[in-house]
Amino acid sequence: MLIFNNMNYIGKNIRRLRQNKGWSQSQVAAQLKISVPAFSKIETGITDINISRLIQIAALFNVPTTGILAEDTGSPDIAKTNELNDIKAKLHDRDEEVNELQKRLINMYEEIRKR
Give the count of alpha carbons within 13 A of 73, CB side only: 11
* Measured distance CA(105)–CA(73) in Å, rounded: 48
35 has a pLDDT exceeding 90 = yes
* Measured distance CA(88)–CA(55) in Å, rounded: 22
What is the residue type of 7?
A: M
* Measured distance CA(21)–CA(107) in Å, rounded: 37
Encode pLDDT of 71-105 as tens digits: 654 555 666 777 777 888 888 889 999 999 999 99
